[in-house]
Amino acid sequence: MDKEIEALWRKEIKRQNQGIELIASENYPSMDVTKTCASIFMAKYAEGYPGRRYYGGCENVDEVERLAIERAKRLFGAEYANVQPHSGSQANCAAYHAFLKKGDKILSLTLNDGGHLTHGSPVSFSSQDYDFAFYPLGEDGRLDYELIAKRMEEEKPNMLLAGYSAYPFEIDFKKLREIVDDYNSKHDVHCYFMVDMAHIAGIVASGLTQNPVTYADVVTSTTHKTLRGPRGGLILSRDASFGKAIDSAIFPYSQGGPLEHIIAAKAVCFGEDLKPEFKEYIRRVLENTKACNDELARLGCVVSGTENHLFLLNVLDSFGINGKQAQEKLGQIDITVNKNMIHGDTLKPAYTSGLRIGFAAITSRGASKEDAIEIARLIFDCLKDPEFDIIEGRKKVTDISSRWQDVTNLTF
């Protein structure tokens, strides 16, 4: 083994095992998923799709990819699935390309309210290739469906985009479909409805929230967040007739050879997510997230509330510090979080007024509701007290994390 990499690898295992990982976009896959990522499927070139490859020797990877597609379709009730996107961003790039022409307009959530870079950030390909317009959240920090309908009339988009990176509440996809249908019939046009469910895909798979596949024309996702799969992307549709355009938007338009080892690991992950135990896991994620949010509220903090795997903590109003300072302070005691803009934020993205806190990762390790409450108290003490004892704080974190499974050896 390469000594330099091995040393860093050991340090990372230690960091992840000792710490409390609360970054809402991260998770720990099962050992089966991890092992499959290192399988020899890695060595195989398989440009194209099952039964239509540009290389010989694809009989086994064809079966792997068919299995991944079939399981993805079953998991989400889709008529079409593409399991080749290397990441969520690649999936979004391909979905836009399959449905739109360069310069077409996409109506998406104001980025500071919880959108992703690929949803129209000036530094992303998305805003350079497409014309983005935005809808803000309502006063209460929730989606305002009347306002979205109004913005549709004002902007006349070719696509409405929903699904976010930092939105703690349920999304009414049925209502959004109705808004798009009403708009289309009123103007005799065809605006598409796309959902990027990267964050909530696991909750969707568990059946504990509305399934966007039932309502959207196209649904994109990552596979490494609440789904607990390998790092990668996924595209789904309820309408198989969109399949040809989406397939060619992935290969050959935006990607080359698919990562068949990752596709094999996606198949393992989808197989795990189809089991009843996965629904129980997601139920615990939701319970833990709410327990931490509610305990912080009880202690007097300004929190968003939550209906999914994450919530936002307003550290400026709660503790008089910004998100960057809060992230760094918690980092000193091995609690990993990320600073995040909150609705109506007055600070710049480099500082922010908030933290985004999620429970998917540590719940995979076995964190309980009691642990979540203890973590809330620790976060509160650490951020409230400028003289907080860092050594003591780190000890408390290790006490809590040592109750959980080793990150390198997780059972499903």
Q: Decide if 96 is catalytic.
A: no
Query: Candidates 159-167, 202-210, 314-322, 370-378 — which segment interacts with ligand PLP by CB under 6 A?
Result: 159-167
Distance CA 252, CA 133 (A): 29
CB 195 within 8 Å of CB 210: no
Q: Decide if 209 is catalytic.
A: no
| Residue 358 touching ligand PLP (CB under 6 A) | no
Total residue length of the chain: 412
CB 115 within 8 Å of CB 165: yes
Q: Decide if 196 is catalytic.
A: yes
Interface pick for ligand PLP out of 44, 97, 199, 238 (rule CB under 6 A): 199
3-state secondary structure of 224: coil
Distance CA 59, CA 278 (A): 31
| Residue 25 touching ligand PLP (CB under 6 A) | yes
Nearer to ligand PLP, 323 or 393 (CB): 323
Distance CA 215, CA 152 (A): 17
Q: Which two tokens stand for residue 2?
A: 């390469």
Interface pick for ligand PLP out of 82, 158, 211, 222 (rule CB under 6 A): 222
Interface pick for ligand PLP out of 196, 247, 260, 334 (rule CB under 6 A): 196
Query: Which one is catalytic: 74, 231, 369, 384?
Result: 231
Q: Which two tokens stand for residue 78?
A: 């889709």
| Residue 88 touching ligand PLP (CB under 6 A) | yes
CB of 307 to ligand PLP, least distance (A): 16
Query: Which one is catalytic: 222, 223, 352, 363?
Result: 222
Please name the residue that has the structure tokens 């397939």. Answer: 247
The H or E element that residue 383 is part of is: helix 369-384
CB 116 within 8 Å of CB 110: no
CB of 78 to ligand PLP, least distance (A): 18
Q: Which of residues 363-392 bind ligand PLP (CB under 6 A)?
A: none
Shortest-Cβ-distance residue relative to ligand PLP: 88
- In 3D, which of 121, 384, 77, 354 has the Cα closest to residue 239? 77
DSSP string, 149-201: HHHHHHH--SEEEE--SS--S---HHHHHHHHHHHHHHHT---EEEEE-TTTH
What are residue 235's DSSP bridge partners?
82, 220
Query: Candidates 85-93, 264-272, 280-288, 302-310 — which segment interacts with ligand PLP by CB under 6 A?
Result: 85-93
Interface pick for ligand PLP out of 87, 121, 368, 405 (rule CB under 6 A): 87
| Residue 168 touching ligand PLP (CB under 6 A) | no
CB of 114 to ligand PLP, least distance (A): 9
Distance CA 332, CA 82 (A): 41
CB 85 within 8 Å of CB 91: yes
| Residue 353 touching ligand PLP (CB under 6 A) | no
Query: Candidates 38-46, 84-92, 325-333, 356-364 — which segment interacts with ligand PLP by CB under 6 A?
Result: 84-92
CB of 63 to ligand PLP, least distance (A): 26
CB of 10 to ligand PLP, least distance (A): 26
Number of other CB atoms surrounding residue 91 within 10 Å: 31
Query: Which one is catalytic: 26, 34, 45, 175?
Result: 45
Distance CA 142, CA 123 (A): 26
Nearer to ligand PLP, 173 or 380 (CB): 173
Tell me, by CB under 6 A, how many residues bind ligand PLP: 14
Query: Which one is catalytic: 26, 32, 34, 47?
Result: 47
Q: Which of residues 91-130 bind ligand PLP (CB under 6 A)?
A: 116, 118
Residues lying near ligand PLP in the complex (CB under 6 A) are found at: 25, 87-89, 116, 118, 163-165, 196, 198-199, 222, 233
